[in-house]
Structure 1
Amino acid sequence: MIKLLDLTKKISLYKRDADKAKILKNISWLFFDKFVSTFLSLLSGILLVRYLGPDQFGVLSFSQSIFIMLTAICKLGLDNIVVREIVENDKHQDSIISSAFLMKSILTLSTYCILMLIVLPFGVSTPEKITLIFCLGLIFQPIGILDLFFQTRSLSKYLVISKVIGVIICSLLKFLCIYLEASLTVIALVFLLEPIITFGVLGYIYFSRSNQLKWRPKLSFSKFLLKSSWLLLLSSMSVTLYLKVDVIMIKYFLSFSEVGIYSSAVRISEGWYFIPQAMVISLFPTIIKAKAESLHKYYSQLQKLMNVMVWLSLFLALIVFFTGDYIIHFLYGEKYQAASSVLSIHIWSGIFVFLGFVSGRWLIIERMEFYAFKRSFYGALVNVVLNLILIPQFGINGAAIATFFSMFTSMYLAFYIDRRTRHIFYMKTKSLLFHSLWKKLYQYK
């Protein structure tokens, strides 16, 4: 009997070690993808910023912001819901994924048609033309549902391969555009090409595998997913609104040139967000399983992850804060020197964004979609109101201040408002006050 228990224990430990190895491998692939993508995007972005100048780069950034806002709508808030449902109901994965694909396809096509009906009757100037080119990428977004198929199996290497191929090809084309002094329209077409290549490679990898999904969309699953995700859709729209509405409002109050200067700083500030994203994407299925084993283990993992997020974000914020002037001058040149003050303010928002990646997934696991929406709504409201007040007064620095306070509100303060989420607020507070560090120092004494 003892030998049997020992054997069972060994098998359990082996499985645990195998799971850890799989997670680490998955994280490694995701970090490789994000590192390569970020490096090449940053390099090509720097050269594009220098080549285009503040005014044309402002047009490009404005169009990208419209595209990102529409993408949030077309995703329907489904991605995290689909991952959760597949992990919890693996036998229905075929119907879940194929139903989500069909829903996204219908919405993306409808959205682009509506956009053309709005834009075309009034004539197409350069900003509108660039926006229409960018938003054509919406049509290819539903293929991204295959991401979730590979995510739930911790097969991130296939996602990485497809994304890295797309980034490398398009980065090389961007370098060529700069060398040949191509127009803004041609550069926009290169941006459009990236999702086409990425999703094309991903589709090829998927269809070359033997264990494919059986495409069986069902109305019942579509209704269930829509019912589960509509609040997340509103939440996602709110998040995108307070992330990108500043660009729209800068254009309204100031100019495309100011949009270009502001966006150049934000690119650097948000360039680090791949770190928490990669970590949380890989750990999400494991954290869901930890909840089934023990609430103590579940919340312990969440607290440790929050601690790591605070340390990472603070380290990066301090470096950028003290070297912001040099970074802007070195990367972009004298034309963009005004971006250094924006960067020094905006970088501190990252602390709450890093924490938000963790708490956002917690809300999904706990099926608290309504609270996710409320949190995002508060952030969007604060951002819009502060932008209206601060941009006319302080220009693009005002937009950076508004972003900081909107992140503080939505990713931190909003969790205190409701009793059901208040313990997450306290967990975040512990991380922000370095509670675990002081505890260890106290125990050491």
Structure 2
Amino acid sequence: MEHTKSNQHPAEQTTPLSSPEPGRPRIESSSVLRNSILLFGFHVLTKSLAFVSFILLAKYLGTQMFGVYNYGFALTALFIPLCDLGMDTYLMREVPRLSKEEIPRQLGAVLSWKGLLTFVVFLAISLTGGILDVFGTERFFIVVLAGLITLLRTYWTTFASFFRAIDRVGYETGMLSLARIAEFIVILASISLDAGLLSLLSVWAVVNIVFVSGTHILVRTRFTRPIMVGDFAHMISIFRGGLPFALATIFSAIYFNFDTVLISKYVGDEAAGIYRAAYNLVFPLTMFGLAISGAVFPFASQNYRTQPGEVEEVIRRSVIQLAMISLPIAVATTMFSGEIVQLLFAPEYAESATCLAILVWFLPIVFLANLYGNTLGAIDQQSFVLKVTILSAVFNVGANFVLVPMYAQTGASIVIVLTALLGFVFLFFKMRGTLRAAVPIRALIRISLAGLFILPLLLLRSEIHVVLLLITSVALYFGALLLLRALSLGDLKNILLSLKPRSRF
């Protein structure tokens, strides 16, 4: 088994991978499962709210205005990586290796950078919106408000990184859940009052200001007081440490949002709305995979050198969990894509069914790719992840320019799945060479076979009530997992044991 080599690129030189500093407790492997469950539950709640919200907005706004709404957020999302330049991820990796006395300085430096960068980025978004959509128009103000909301939400990533790094994920999930509930209430009120899109976005911005401020106060009073450092050398070291993560995120943002902008400009807002209807059904589910990979990240960062076997086992279990979750979702959604779109959307969105049947296969691929990419970043292999991300982005942009003009939203759907598959192949083989036991090929084969057990039921879907079909399919799938030994009763017991009460920070 290979370990991270010592001849790192200068931008990757960080706190040595060693045991935790005095005063900093070790993150136990049991914390990974517990935090994964907390984050998973949080995403079930918030993504359910987001799902209902986007269905309501799609019906309320109509295809054209819904396309403009999504265009605004897709355009501003291209600027997200510039808001922290990878320093949030760097913070989550470094804090588990620091003593409690060093944490305020590290957090303060990241928040200082965040304040400066978000101000500059907001000006850039406003200028871009004015150039593309004419200053002062309704479309321009939609872009500006979408940008403000997006930038405020980037502060959540800083606090989320801090909470995960100190193994206190419950605070992250609690505050973010309250914020998302407040946003959902705003949507209901705006639709009920027919307030319009601009009013809705304005109130959303206020909600995010309130909750970001409240979370900052919570961190200062409950955990640590960030020190806004004036040490130029330290600020530059934070910048250099986060840069590889930033570049990877920038290129990821390109291929997650470029397609929507291209469709909107070269095909039309209606086509963009149809594409995003399917897109917004699938992509919120990626957060379930990020729940597990996000819980693994600080554990791997702290323990890779001192407990490599334990890290390998945690990643192996995480891979199995992600595959078990994503595979049946992909199979069932492909089979029922037409019925799902017909149930959730107006007839004008019928073409979204084809996009949905294709896009859903992005899930099992990206679940594992994100886990492997995040783990490699946690053990100081972020330069490799960056190279893979750049290659994927170049492929995505080129393929979209070829396929979108010919096949519109269907072509974009194909491209994004192929892009994820390309990146996964490189990360898969890199992980096999770094943490070989973390790639459980036999277990993945068993899970794939278990997925085949539900195909006969899905093929008979027209003859069975949908509720009975769903219950039977889930029972048959988990029965097959137990039969093929991809899942054991001991695994279920470990999940329950992971929920025991925590000690104080």
- Please state which band the TM-score falls in when normalised by the shorter chain: 0.7 to 0.9
1:206 counterpart letter in structure 2:
V
1:102 counterpart letter in structure 2:
S
How far is 1:375 from its partner?
0.9
After TM superposition, the structure 1 = structure 2 runs for residues 289-304 of structure 1, keeping only pairs within 5 Å, are 289-304=302-317
The aligned counterpart of 2:142 is 130
Secondary structure at the aligned position of 1:124 is classed as coil
Distance 1:347 1:216 in 2: 45
Determine whether 1:158 maps to 2:161. Answer: no
After TM superposition, the structure 1 = structure 2 runs for residues 188-203 of structure 1, keeping only pairs within 5 Å, are 188-203=201-216
Secondary structure at the aligned position of 2:277 is classed as helix
Distance 1:396 1:102 in 2: 40
Distance 2:309 2:436 in 1: 17
The aligned counterpart of 2:9 is none
How far is 1:205 from its partner?
2.1
The aligned counterpart of 2:291 is 278
1:111 pairs with one of 109, 121, 126: 121
Which sections of structure 2, spanning at least 5 residues, go unmatched? Answer: 1-24, 450-482, 487-505
Distance 2:267 2:440 in 1: 37
Aligned pairs, number: 425
How far is 1:424 from its partner?
6.8
The aligned counterpart of 1:5 is none
Distance 2:437 2:33 in 1: 29
Distance 1:397 1:38 in 2: 24
1:56 counterpart letter in structure 2:
M
2:62 pairs with one of 49, 53, 58: 53
Say if 1:108 and 1:138, in contact at 8 Å, map to a contact too.
Answer: no
The aligned counterpart of 1:205 is 218
Distance 1:56 1:114 in 2: 24
Distance 2:70 2:381 in 1: 33
2:105 pairs with one of 90, 95, 108: 95
| TM-score (structure 2 length as normaliser) | 0.77
Higher share in helix: 1
Distance 2:176 2:330 in 1: 28
Distance 1:212 1:371 in 2: 35
Determine whether 1:377 maps to 2:399. Answer: no
Say if 1:95 and 1:221, in contact at 8 Å, map to a contact too.
Answer: no
Distance 1:52 1:138 in 2: 20
- With 133-142 and 428-437 compared, the bigger mean Cα shift is at 428-437
1:110 counterpart letter in structure 2:
V
How far is 1:429 from its partner?
8.1
Say if 2:78 and 2:253, in contact at 8 Å, map to a contact too.
Answer: yes
Structure 2 CA distance for partners of 1:266 and 1:432, relative to 1, 3 Å = farther
Percent identity of equivalent pairs: 18
The aligned counterpart of 1:26 is 35
Say if 1:69 and 1:241, in contact at 8 Å, map to a contact too.
Answer: yes
Determine whether 1:363 maps to 2:382. Answer: no
Secondary structure at the aligned position of 1:123 is classed as coil
The aligned counterpart of 1:38 is 47
Please give the per-residue CA displacement for 1:391-445, whole angstroms capped at 9, x wherever unaligned: 11111100000000111112324654xx78755799658278527999x9699xx
Distance 2:35 2:381 in 1: 27
Distance 1:420 1:21 in 2: 22
Say if 1:430 and 1:436, in contact at 8 Å, map to a contact too.
Answer: no
After TM superposition, the structure 1 = structure 2 runs for residues 272-351 of structure 1, keeping only pairs within 5 Å, are 272-351=285-364
Give me the CA root mean square deviation. 2.8
- With 123-132 and 429-438 compared, the bigger mean Cα shift is at 429-438
How far is 1:240 from its partner?
0.8
Distance 1:315 1:420 in 2: 25
How far is 1:352 from its partner?
1.5
Determine whether 1:257 maps to 2:270. Answer: yes
1:219 counterpart letter in structure 2:
F
| TM-score (structure 1 length as normaliser) | 0.87
Say if 1:375 and 1:415, in contact at 8 Å, map to a contact too.
Answer: no
Say if 1:75 and 1:104, in contact at 8 Å, map to a contact too.
Answer: yes
Which sections of structure 1, spanning at least 5 residues, go unmatched? Answer: 1-14
